[in-house]
Amino acid sequence: MADPQKSFTPYVRDAQSMAEFTAKAVILGVLFGLLFGASTVYLGLRAGLTVSASIPIAVLAISVLKRLGGSTILENNIVQTIGSAGESVAGGVVFTIPALIFLMPEGPKYFTYTQITMLAFAGGILGVLMMVPLRRALIVKEHGVLPYPEGTACAEVLVAGERGGQLASLVFSGLAIGALWKSFTGIFNLFLAEVGYSTPRTSQFPNATVAVDISPEYMGVGYVIGPRIAGTMVAGGVLSWLVLLPLLSLLGAAIPTPFPPIAPALASNPATGMPYLISEMGPGQIWSAYIRYIGAGAVLAAGLITLGRTLPTIVSSAREGLKGLGTGNDGPQRRTERDVPITVVLGGSLALAVFLAVMPGLPTQGNILVSVLIVLFGFFFATVSSRITGLIGSSSNPISGMTIATLIITCVIFVTLGWTGDAYAPVAISVGALVCIASANAGNTSQDLKTGYLVGATPLAQQMGLAIGVVTSAFIIGATVLYMHQVFGIGSAAVAAPQATLMATLIKGLLSQNLPWGLVLVGVFISVTLELCGIHSLSFAVGAYLPIATTAPIFMGGLVRWWVERSTGTQADSDISAGTLFSSGLIAGGSLAGILFAVLVGAQQSGINVLGTLQAVGNALPFLREEGLVGNVAGAALFFALAVILARYAKRPLQ
């Protein structure tokens, strides 16, 4: 078999010299990292989902740099490399760190700007460092074996840079329309943000709920992930909200006493002063008290099954990673083979472990064992994440499953050592958070390095760029997370932080050893049943845990993609299409409008009532957002109109 390193020729040959790590590329990459980092925080806090930003950033980089006097393909690649770091670090942060809010009854001791930023910085840098010794094994030696679908598609965009104007117009159009549609429900207060219906508690089918959050970012996510995954997700939502919820309501009507477990917020009915009966609960209360534990069990099992399925990959990746640790970078090297020296990788990893152990204010301060666990788990799951990204792309990378596995192992170690109770919960989530961020960014790093390998970039320049992207985006990510909490309160309907809530639920139950295992095991065997039926359970389990108002609009986006591909007679064999580019814009535009709404709400709380002025139009047409038939029809019509617009853009051929 031919050596892939010798048989492959990149777009820019090794001997060619052109501008790459320039000031304008670095600055633009940092700006895109801040932009997409903040938008990913919003999307992750609301939906518990994220998608890769590499392709839209590459498209925007080509367009913007052309207007700044032109650029080389390697400069464009540096922009997307730096910018994508913000998105991946933000995803890892919002999946885990907000759990600190639910784990500290004494107050937000560790949930401060400094702590969030330091954890984001440490996890992100750890992910970059851990991927360096794996580059030759995964990117070079397995070229042609690991497809890296999103990284390859990003390279296609960069190589076709002369098409940047048209491609960028799709992203910009999606961004503008997404921001406008999001503003209709928030900033201008014209329509209901969520439409739906729940059957009465006294009906034959009590508390059955169908709802749709008409956010454009959800529809965009559904189009990007496609009809198969979107359909599997909404199937989980159907099970929770149209099967389990009415079933529990029917059975609960015959139970005259409170049925544990009951969430603290539902401890007593203000009308009676007694603990709630199931027959007295609404759909949201039953979900909070019971169904979320079933969903948590389903996600737990599905995540572990997914990891088990990739066990051969895990073993081979760990083996290659250990081999890579012995690969030096000393001596003269070709430009396209130049990496961060292995001495820097080892020294940097050691420095991060020391930093986590001595940094004042961090939950890990003074705990050497925890620092060692973080580095070991970080390398292991960074290896797994990088290889899985090579197989299925970073958007489908099961980071939450790896984090759950980390938390379970960590909590078992803690319980064995006698480290139980609330005091150790922030320490456990810190381990999970750092491993989650490192794994997410390692997968993103491997994807970016694959793009660079195809276009002929310098690995050292990309690795330096990723480090810059991590450090700069950490500041805006910490600020955005904290601001969203200050304005809306993380855990509220506006920013439910479903993944972080799941992590907190598992840690509380494992460390206190009082997890409602009956309900959790119901969820576990739901996932096992799906696997026995030949269905991958992770997407279904996530859908079962999320509100149906989140999974339903994602399913609508998947339906639009299915209809477009069927009506045009084409099936996308790449991540580049008019629909995916426009949908990327919808995601970014809707998320940024949501952040702007949060800024306006915060200003209003400070006495600056700009929001009230902007909502004057909505106040003049109150019937459009009335609870009931009129408001639901108006909101549904607005969402349908967005689906039509998405379909029209998606059917445009790319020249």
Q: Could you read off the pLDDT of 230-246 as tens digits, one per residue? A: 899 899 999 999 999 99
**pLDDT tens across 486-497, in order?**
999 888 888 888
Q: Average model confidence (pLDDT) for the chain?
A: 84
* Residue 109 within any structural domain of the chain: yes
Q: Residue 553: CB partners within 8 Å, gap ≥ 6?
A: 212, 213, 214, 215, 218, 219, 222, 639
According to the model, what pLDDT value does residue 81 have? 94
Tell me: the pLDDT tens digits for 62-77?
Answer: 888 888 888 899 999 9
- CA dihedral of residues 483, 485, 489, 490 (deg, nearest 10): 140
Q: Is residue 309 domain-resident?
A: yes
Instruction: Locate 192 and state its tokens.
Output: 């209901």
Tell me the pLDDT tens digit for each residue of 386-410: 877 876 667 666 677 778 778 888 8
pLDDT of residue 422: 77
174 or 53, which is more confident: 174
Q: Is residue 552 part of a domain?
A: no
Within 48-72, residue ranges assigned H as helices are 54-67
Residue 261: cis peptide before it, omega within 30 degrees of 0:
yes
Closest Cα partner for 193 from 211, 175, 220? 211
Q: Is 252 helix (H, G, I), strand (E, B) or coil?
A: helix
Domains identified in the chain, total number: 1
Q: Is residue 125 part of a domain?
A: yes
Confidence of residue 310 (pLDDT cuts 50, 70, 90): low
pLDDT tens digit sequence for 21-47: 999 999 999 999 999 999 999 988 988
Q: Quote the distance between the C-alpha of residue 585 and its chain's center.
A: 16
Q: Two tokens at 395? A: 């958007």
Phi then psi for residue 55, to 5 deg, are -65, -50
Instruction: Give the contacts of 95 (CB within 8 A, at least 6 positions apart).
Output: 44, 48, 399, 400, 403, 436, 499, 500, 503
384, part of any domain:
yes
Q: Are the beta carbons of 191 and 631 closer than 8 angstroms?
A: yes
Q: In this structure, what token pair is assigned to residue 399? A: 């980071």
Distance (Å, rounded) from C-alpha 574 to C-alpha 156?
10
- pLDDT for the residue numbered 330: 47
Q: Is residue 313, in this structure, part of any structural domain at all?
A: yes
88, 441 contact by CB (below 8 A):
yes
Domain ranges, residue 442: 17-175+293-508
Ranking 357-361, 454-458, 524-528, 549-553 by mean pLDDT, the lowest is 357-361
Beta-carbon neighbour count of residue 392 at 10 Å?
Answer: 14
Nearest to 568 by CA among 556, 581, 579: 579
Q: How far apart are CA 410 and CA 416, in angstroms?
A: 10
What's the pTM value of the predicted model, to 2 decimals? Answer: 0.84
Which of 96-100, 309-313, 416-420, 568-572 has the lowest average pLDDT?
309-313
- Which residue's structure tokens are 């460092």? 129
In our burial notation (b when 16+ CB lie closer than 10 A, e otherwise), range 477-512 reads bbbbbbbbbebbebbeebbbbbbbbbbbbbbbbbbe
In the prediction, which pLDDT does 169 show?
84
Q: For residues 62 and 167, is the Cβ–Cβ distance under 8 A?
A: yes
Tokens coding 198? 């729940």
Q: Which residues pair with 196 in a beta bridge?
A: 211
Categorize the per-residue pLDDT at 1 as very low, low, confident or very high, splitting at 50, 70 and 90: very low
323 falls within a domain = yes
Rg (CA), the chain: 24
* C-alpha angle 33-34-37 in degrees, rounded to nearest 5: 75
Secondary structure letter of residue 496 according to DSSP: -
Q: How far apart are CA 342 and CA 321, in angstroms?
A: 12
Domain membership of residue 485 (yes or no) is yes
- Residue-wise pLDDT for 499-511, tens only, equals 888 888 888 888 8
Q: CA-CA distances (angstroms) from residue 196 to 205, 235, 312, 636?
A: 16, 17, 45, 9
Q: Which of 376-385, 504-513, 563-572, 601-610 is predicted most confidently?
A: 601-610
Q: Show the tokens assigned to 337.
A: 């083979």
If we measure between CA atoms, which residue out of 655, 652, 642, 639 comes closest to residue 580? Answer: 652
Of the two residues 244 and 655, the one the predictor is more confident about is 244
Is residue 440 pLDDT above 50, yes or no? yes
